[in-house]
Amino acid sequence: MVGNIDEPRGELAIRTLAMPADANPSGDIFGGWVLSQMDIAGGISAAHRAQGRVVTVAVTAMTFHLPVYVGDVLCVYAAIEKIGRTSLTVQLEAWALRGRGTERVRVTEGQFVYVALGTDGRSRPVPKDIVEA
C-alpha cells in the first residue's frame, strides 16, 4: 500500500519536526535523515524490550512511499516482529503529519534488526519473560 492507510501499526516511538537543514534545495527531506530517525525509533523500542543496550545489525527492508517535506512532523511507529536468542526484528512505519496536522500519510516503512549487547560489548540473550507496565 502506498500513502494513506487507516492507522499506523505499532507504538509511537519518536516524533520530530523536519527542518530546512534536513532538506535538499527542492525542500524534500533527505532519505538518509528519515532512515536515521527510523533507526533511532527502532533502537529505543528494541532497547526497552531487551532491557539494555542494542546495536543495529541490519536493515532487511526499506521502502520510501512518499516524500517528507520541511515542516512535516515525522512520527515513527515500532512493532517488535520477532525475538531471537540475542536479536530483535522491529517493523517500523514513518508517518508525516502535514498541513498543521490535518493530514497524516505513511511515507516510509522498513524492517530493522538489532542485537542486544552486554557490558562487555558482546551479544547477550534477550530476556524472554518480560512483563510490560
Q: What is the pLDDT of residues 4-53, one digit of tens each?
A: 557 899 999 999 999 999 999 998 999 999 999 999 999 999 999 999 99
What backbone torsions phi and psi does residue 7 show, to the nearest 5 degrees? -135, 150
In the structure grid, which three cell numbers stand for residue 32, read together? 538518509
Q: Provide the H-helix boundaries in 51-82.
A: none
The CA-based angle 42-104-100, given to 5 degrees, is: 110
Are 72 and 104 in contact, with CB atoms under 8 Å apart?
Answer: no
Question: What does the pLDDT look like over 41-64, one tens digit per residue?
Answer: 999 999 999 999 999 999 999 999
Superfamily covering domain 11-116: Hotdog Thioesterase (3.10.129.10)
pTM for the structure as a whole: 0.90
What backbone torsions phi and psi does residue 72 show, to the nearest 5 degrees? -70, 145
SS3 118: coil
